[in-house]
């Protein structure tokens, strides 16, 4: 089943990047993450190497359990057996976290053939189960996560306490262990300088807004992750409904900002997005952040019907293929320096756009 891993590393397009799904022109993907721990073992941060090994050994059975339920193929990947580069490609594809690969010994990943279900083993918790859907579809992602969770709970005894809920390594995850998040593309709110207000409102409503690559990263490409902060004292449906309704409001605001741009300053908008397209189509060197910024403008142009030469899926695909480690993986063994990486990135973007 190495081909699953192989595809995951070399194919740019995971299904949740297909550009389809509800509100797909603004919401790229929806994600549900559940934090779970085995009752019989200490949390990974306090576990010895031997204990971590025992946890891995117990959870090796999970792929077979899941396969029996949905018929999809699942693979159990020991991170230590991957090259450092392969690990970073998985980070760029949002399949594992930077923390998870930082010390790969006794860490593993369970992943479904289409990458829409994955479980980090021995990250901060024993199990970090993640389900992804294209567009705004938290309900479907949660339903899928619940199924996976139930299957695991049927065979493994999890750390759970009446009146509190699931126990987790970090108190901020205790209770439901649930993090619901969506990845949204908000170029018009960014262009019209409304993101500051938007972040403040979301924060007051118990949500966190971050950049594309998790905490501390800037929102390059105008792509933001919006997720719940509170996991304790609220039911799962409450958490999901709250996030869902705030995201819908943000989507509306983004739509209004887009209407404003296309109606009030159509020429300025057209000039801006076509210039971005022109630079992407002909540049011979592109940094990761410049290409994200330009791709964001082009995607806005596609969404508003100004640019008709490229497809939404292409934009989403390029979000992944222009990442440094994905590029390095493409180019094979020899380590790329910055200039070479920027050159390869520009070539890849040119080829993609000319193929349209």
Residue 201 annotated in ligand binding: no
Tell me phi and psi for residue 20, to 5 degrees. -100, -160
Residue 5 in contact with a second copy, rule: CB under 8 A: no
Rounded-to-5 percentages of helix, strand, coil across the chain: 55, 15, 30
Q: How far apart, in whole angstroms, are the C-alpha atoms of residue 96 and residue 87?
A: 8
Residue 280 in contact with a second copy, rule: CB under 8 A: yes
DSSP state of 122: S
H/E run at residue 355: none
Tell me how far, at minimum, the Cβ of 327 lies from a second copy, in Å: 16
Choose the stretch contacting a second copy; rule: CB under 8 A; options: 41-49, 211-219, 267-275, 325-333: 267-275
Residue 274 in contact with a second copy, rule: CB under 8 A: yes
Residue 88 in contact with a second copy, rule: CB under 8 A: no
Binding residue (CB under 8 A) for a second copy from 60, 72, 248, 343: 343
Residue 263 in contact with a second copy, rule: CB under 8 A: no
Binding residue (CB under 8 A) for a second copy from 2, 264, 267, 308: 267
Strand order, beta sheet including 117-121: 74-78, 108-112, 117-121, 127-134, 27-36, 178-185, 223-228, 207-211
For a second copy, which is the closer residue by CB, 231 or 322? Answer: 322
Q: Build a one-symbol-per-residue string for 296-335: x at contacts with a second copy by CB under 8 A, - elsewhere.
A: ----------------------------------------
Residues ≥6 apart with Cβ < 8 Å to 278: none
Residue 211 annotated in ligand binding: yes
Q: How far apart, in whole angstroms, are the C-alpha atoms of residue 24 and residue 105?
A: 38
Binding residue (CB under 8 A) for a second copy from 260, 279, 320, 336: 279
How is residue 236 written in tokens?
Answer: 């799962």
Residue 264 in contact with a second copy, rule: CB under 8 A: no
Residue 57 in contact with a second copy, rule: CB under 8 A: no
Q: Are strands 27-36 and 127-134 parallel, antiparallel or unpaired?
A: antiparallel
Q: Build a one-symbol-per-residue string for 281-300: x at contacts with a second copy by CB under 8 A, - elsewhere.
A: xxxxx---------------
Q: How far apart, in whole angstroms, are the C-alpha atoms of residue 183 and residue 180?
A: 11
Contact 44, 55 (CB under 8 A): yes
Tell me how far, at minimum, the Cβ of 297 lies from a second copy, in Å: 12
Residue 234 annotated in ligand binding: no
For a second copy, which is the closer residue by CB, 114 or 340? Answer: 340
Binding residue (CB under 8 A) for a second copy from 270, 293, 313, 320: 270
Distances in whole angstroms, Cα of residue 311 to Cα of each of 28, 95, 302, 303: 14, 24, 7, 9
Residue 32 annotated in ligand binding: yes
Q: How far apart, in whole angstroms, are the C-alpha atoms of residue 142 and residue 111?
A: 17
Residue 248 in contact with a second copy, rule: CB under 8 A: no
For a second copy, which is the closer residue by CB, 80 or 271? Answer: 271
For a second copy, which is the closer residue by CB, 181 or 342? Answer: 342
Residue 202 annotated in ligand binding: no
Contact 262, 191 (CB under 8 A): no
Binding residue (CB under 8 A) for a second copy from 164, 170, 268, 311: 268
Contact 30, 182 (CB under 8 A): yes
For every residue of 229-283, DSSP letters joined together read: ---SSS-HHHHHHHHHHHHHHHHHHHHHHHHHHHHH-HHHHHHHHHHHHHHHHH-
Residue 199 annotated in ligand binding: no
For a second copy, which is the closer residue by CB, 3 or 282? Answer: 282
Residue 351 in contact with a second copy, rule: CB under 8 A: no
Q: Which residues are annotated as a binding site?
A: 29-33, 94, 128, 179-183, 210-215
Chain contacts with a second copy (rule: CB under 8 A): 267-268, 270-271, 274-275, 277-285, 339, 343, 346
């Amino acid at each position: 089943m190495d081909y699953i891993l192989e595809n995951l590393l070399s194919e740019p397009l995971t299904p949740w990047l297909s550009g389809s799904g509800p509100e797909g022109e603004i919401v790229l993907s929806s994600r549900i993450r559940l934090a779970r721990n085995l009752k019989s073992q200490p949390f990974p941060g306090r576990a010895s190497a031997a204990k971590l090994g025992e946890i891995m050994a117990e959870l090796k059975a999970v792929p077979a359990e899941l396969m029996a339920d949905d018929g999809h193929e699942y693979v159990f990947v020991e991170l230590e057996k991957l090259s450092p580069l392969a690990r970073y490609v998985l980070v760029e594809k949002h399949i594992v976290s930077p923390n998870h690969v930082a010390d790969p010994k006794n860490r593993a990943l369970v992943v479904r053939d289409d990458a829409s279900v994955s479980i980090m083993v021995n990250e901060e918790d024993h199990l970090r189960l993640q389900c992804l859907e294209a567009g705004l579809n938290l309900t479907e992602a949660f339903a899928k996560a619940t199924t996976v969770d139930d299957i695991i709970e049927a065979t493994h005894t999890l750390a759970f306490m009446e009146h509190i809920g699931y126990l987790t390594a970090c108190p901020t995850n205790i209770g439901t262990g649930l993090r619901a998040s969506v990845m949204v593309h908000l170029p018009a709110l960014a262009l019209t300088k409304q993101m500051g207000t938007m972040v403040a409102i979301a924060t007051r409503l118990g949500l966190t807004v971050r950049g594309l690559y998790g905490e501390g990263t800037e929102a390059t490409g105008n792509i933001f992750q919006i997720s719940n902060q509170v996991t304790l004292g609220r039911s799962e449906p409450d958490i999901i409904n709250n996030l869902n309704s705030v995201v819908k409001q943000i989507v509306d605001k983004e739509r209004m900002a887009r209407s404003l741009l296309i109606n009030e300053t159509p020429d300025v908008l057209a000039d801006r997005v076509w210039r971005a397209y022109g630079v992407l189509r002909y540049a011979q060197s592109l940094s990761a952040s410049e290409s994200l910024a330009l791709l964001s403008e082009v995607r806005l142009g596609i969404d508003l019907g100004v640019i008709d030469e490229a497809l939404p899926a292409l934009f989403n695909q390029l979000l992944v293929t222009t990442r440094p480690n994905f590029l390095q993986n493409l180019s094979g063994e020899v380590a790329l320096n910055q200039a070479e990486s920027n050159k390869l990135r520009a070539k890849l973007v040119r080829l993609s756009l000319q193929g349209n």
